[in-house]
Every structure is written in structure tokens, then in C-alpha cells.
Amino acid sequence: MTTDGTETKWHPTGPQPLTRHFQRLTQRARDLDRRRPLLWDLLVTGFFVTAALIDQTSGGWRNVAENPTHPGWLITTLSLGLTVPLLKRRTHPFAVLLTTLPFALVNTWTGASLQAGEVCLLTLFHIALRTRHSTLLRSYALAVLPYVFGGIRYPAEQGLDQNVVPAATALALASVAGIAVRTRKDYLASLVERAHQLEVERDQQLRLAAAAERARIAREMHDIIGHNLSVITGLADGGRYAAAKNPARATEALTAISTTSRQALAELRRLLDVLRDDPEDPAHPTPPADLAPQPTLTDLDRLLTGLRSAGLAVHTTVRGTPTLAPGRQLTVYRVIQEALTNTLKHAGPGATSQLHISYEESGAVALTLTDTARTPPTPPSPTHSGRGLPGMRERTALYGGTLEAGPLPHPQRGWRVHLHLPEETPQ
């Protein structure tokens, strides 16, 4: 709306209606050509054959002929010989040129000068569009040849300047047009191929990302569920033995089981909420997901307290001050959690664990966790190793670290896990 109260009209910057109408017609013609190429070839060839026969029957060719006294059968033969082979102009353009060449030579040598002879421009266009450049050069020389014959046969009326040069120029323009269209088609084909390659690469990247995310989720669920269920199992076994002799200790065990279960359920819900991709229902909005941070080394004391309450004696020795990035802290935390959980599950009753952690000023960290058992430990078999040790090694490899895990040398009984993360290199 302008200041004087008149309404202004918005003019689109895209194609105008006439242009859009032309584009639709062009697209329909291309679709018809793709679906029924023979039908399109028949239509084009039929057009030129009809035009040539109309020119022959009406006698219009005599207006430009050097010799208008030729019999009708000759003009009909030349008209059909110059136009009917166009049916194969797209599949065999050079063969079409060779087929029409004798008729073109007769046309110019006899002085009939039929307009149908100009269809060689269309043939040369398709040669430039579909064949090699060497074939195009030979075809151009052959297409000019009839006009040269005409100039020699009728030098006064069709001299080189009046006939050959304009014809040669027109044939050159037809060749250039075919090369231009061919170049554009090749360029569009390369763009389509590039787009296809990008789609393939995008799909591959998505699959790799999905596989990495599945592996990460599997590690997190293993750490969350495996650790907490092991603690709950230990607490339940201890509470069962204490129920008959010390009900107060059994009550403490049940309270710890309840706390650990709620903690595991909360962590599991947080992980599953992040994975949800359901659309929001306005009538029933989903509560926001709990975006609590991943555990760090500050949560290590709570982890050890829970394990001690489950019956595992853990003695820790810490040297230095941790100055690790959050991701490296999570790796150290998860390795300790997995190693102690395995001790709780496999070392048997009366097992003890020694945890030594050393933080370097450079940012490197080393930890050694050793458990001792009265009975030989029963580590999982290689065929049923789950995601425990592989998950620990995957986490360690993300930061260029090393992880060693194995039984203590004979005659000692127990298991040893050693982790080393090198100094963090600046990005």
C-alpha cells in the first residue's frame, strides 16, 4: 500500500505465464520423445515428407529451379529420397547423410534445387550431436559437396559466392549448434552423476553414523544396566544372608537396592528420551528430556560407595590432580565402572580390589585396577564376552590410549586392568 492509498501489485521474479506455458509444452514433447521415440521420429519425418510432396505437387519448386522442365517422377523421387531417410537421423545420422547424398548431388546437378535438400542441416546437426568430431568433419565435407557441384554446373546462377559460401556457413552453424547441445547434455549428465554420487556418499555417511551411534548406545546401556544390576545382585545376596541374623542390615540392603534401581531407571530413561524422534502432539506434549551430563571423575566416589555397599572392598590410591576433558573423564569413569562390575560378578565372595590412579601434569592419566579373590575368577568366555572389554577398548582407542586386561600371573589369583591415556594433543 502506497502513501496515497493505492494498492501496489507484486510482480513475481520467476518465469512469466507465457514462458511457463512454453516450458510445459517443451517438457511434454520431451516426455513423449522418451516414452515413444519411434512415434516422434515418424512425426518429424512425416512433416518433412509432407512439405516436400506439397512443394512438388503445387509446382512451387519451379520458382527457384534452374531447370523447371524436369518430369514429375524425378521430382517425386528426389523429394522422397531427401526426406524419408530422416527416420533414422538419430540412430544412424552418418548413414542417413550417405543415403541422401546421391539425391542431393542429382538435385543440384540437374538444377531442380528442391528445398528438401536443406534437410541436410538437420542431419548434420544430429551428426554433431551424436558422433565423434572426426566423423563430423567428414560429414561436413560431404554435405558441402552438392553445393560445390551446383556452383560448377551453374556458375552464373550458383557461383561460389552466391551459393557455396552461404550453404557452407549454414552447415557450420548447424554443426556448432549440435556441438553446443551435446556439450550441454554432457554437462547436465555430469551434474546428475555427481548428484547421484553425493547421494550415495550421503547414504554411506548416514549408515556409518547410525552404526557408530548404535555402538555408542550399546556401550552406554551395557555400562548402565550391567553395572547397576550387578550392584543390585550383590546387595540382594548380602541382604538375604543378613535377614536371619541382622534385620537392620537387610533393611539397609533393601534401601540400597531401591536407590540403585531408581538411579538405573533414571539413567535408562534419559538415554531413551534422547533417542525419541516422535512428533510432538499439541494435545499431549511430551515432557522435556532429562539432559543431565554424563558422569565424570567427581562421581567416582558415589560409584565406589555403591560397590562397597554391595560387598566389594575397594581400596583407592590417587596421585596428582585430574585435569582431563569431559570425554576423557567419561572414558576413565566407564573403564573403572566396567572393571569393578566384572570383579563383583566374577571374582566371588571375599574379593578385594586395589585401584591406583595417576594424573600427570601433562594431561596423561594411568590407572591400574587389581582384584584378588579366594577362588579363581571366572571371566566370560571369548564367545560370550558381550560388550564389556570391547567397549572399554573402543572408548580407550578414541583418545589414542592403551588398555590391557588379563589374569594375574600364577600362582596369584585375580585380574588386572591397566589403562593409559596419553597427553591430550591440542586441536
Range among 95-104, 207-216, 367-376, 377-386 rated most confident: 95-104
- What are 132-184's pLDDT values in tens digits? 889 999 999 999 998 888 878 777 665 566 778 888 899 999 999 999 999 99
Check residue 159 and give its pLDDT: 59
Q: Which CATH superfamily is domain 297-427 in?
A: Histidine kinase-like ATPase, C-terminal domain (3.30.565.10)
In the structure, what pLDDT confidence band is assigned to residue 342 with cuts at 50, 70 and 90?
confident
Residue 130 CB partners (closer than 8 Å, separation 6+): 90, 93, 182
Instruction: Check whether 310 has a pLDDT greater than 60.
Output: yes
Bridge partners, residue 393, by sequence? none
Q: What is the pLDDT of residues 294-304, one digit of tens each?
A: 778 888 888 88
pLDDT score of 381: 45
What does the H/E/C string look like for the chain? Answer: CCCCCCCCCCCCCCCCHHHHHHHHHHHHHHHHHHHCHHHHHHHHHHHHHHHHHHHHHHCHHHHCCCCCCCCHHHHHHHHHHHHHHHHHCCCCHHHHHHHHHHHHHHHHHCCCCCHHHHHHHHHHHHHHHHCCHHHHHHHHHHHHHHHHHHHHHCCCCCCHHHHHHHHHHHHHHHHHHHHHHHHHHHHHHHHHHHHHHHHHHHHHHHHHHHHHHHHHHHHHHHHHHHHHHHHHHHHHHHHHHHHHHCHHHHHHHHHHHHHHHHHHHHHHHHHHHHHCCCCCECCECCCCCCCCCCCCHHHHHHHHHHHHHCCCEEEEEEECCCCCCHHHHHHHHHHHHHHHHHHHHHCCCCCEEEEEEEECCCCCEEEEEEEECCCCCCCCCHHHCCCHHHHHHHHHHHCCCEEEEEECCCCCCEEEEEEEECCCCCC
CA distance linking residue 339 with residue 282, whole number of Å: 45
| In contact, 407 and 397? CB cutoff 8 Å | no
Reported as a pLDDT band with limits 50, 70 and 90, residue 375 is low
Q: Quick check: 391 pLDDT over 70? A: yes
What pLDDT score does 242 carry? 65
Least confident of 2-6, 92-96, 173-177, 212-216: 2-6
Lay out the sheet containing 402-407: strands in order across: 313-319, 352-359, 365-372, 414-421, 402-407
- Decide which of 279 and 306 is more confident: 306
Of the chain, the percentage scoring pLDDT greater than 70 comes to 75
Query: What is the identity of the amino acid at 305?
Result: T
**Which amino acid appears at position 168 of this protein?**
A
Per-residue pLDDT at 226: 65
Strands 414-421 and 402-407: antiparallel
pLDDT at site 333: 87
Grid coordinates standing for 315? 581400596
Q: What is the pLDDT of residues 198-249, one digit of tens each?
A: 888 888 888 887 777 677 766 666 666 666 676 777 667 666 666 667 677 6
**Rounded Cα distance, 196 and 353, in Å:** 57
What is the spatial distance between Cα 347 and Cα 378, in angstroms, rounded to a whole number?
7
pLDDT of 400-427, one tens digit each? 889 998 888 877 778 889 999 988 765 5
Contact 80, 49 (CB under 8 A): yes
Mean pLDDT of 394-399: 82
Average pLDDT over residues 369-388: 58
> Is this model's pTM higher than 0.85 or not?
no
Residues 6+ apart with CB under 8 A from 52: 79, 80, 82, 83, 114, 115, 116
Where are the chain's structural domains?
A: 18-158, 297-427
Q: In terms of pLDDT, which residue wins out, 95 or 18?
A: 95
**pLDDT over 50 at 10, yes or no:** no
d(CA 111, CA 415): 107
Please, which pLDDT band fits residue 337 given cuts at 50, 70 and 90?
confident
Mean of pLDDT values over 345-369: 84
Q: Which pLDDT does position 284 carry in this prediction?
A: 47
CB atoms within 10 A of CB 311: 17
The number of C-alpha atoms within 13 Å of 177 and in the hemisphere containing its C-beta is 12
**Is 136 exposed, middle or buried, given 0-12, 13-18 or 19+ CB atoms closer than 10 A?**
buried
- Considering the chain, what is the average pLDDT of its residues? 78
Q: Which tops the pLDDT comparison, 238 or 368?
A: 368
Report, in angstroms and rounded to the nearest whole number, the Rg of the chain calculated over CA atoms.
44
Residue range 29-87, pLDDT digits in tens = 778 778 888 888 888 899 999 988 888 888 878 887 777 888 888 888 988 999 999 99
The single-letter code of the amino acid at 219 is R
Higher pLDDT, 129 or 324: 129
Q: How far apart are CA 36 and CA 72, in angstroms?
A: 35
Cα(112)–Cα(377) distance, rounded to whole angstroms? Answer: 107
More confident residue, 281 or 80: 80
Q: Are 105 and 145 in contact (CB under 8 A)?
A: yes
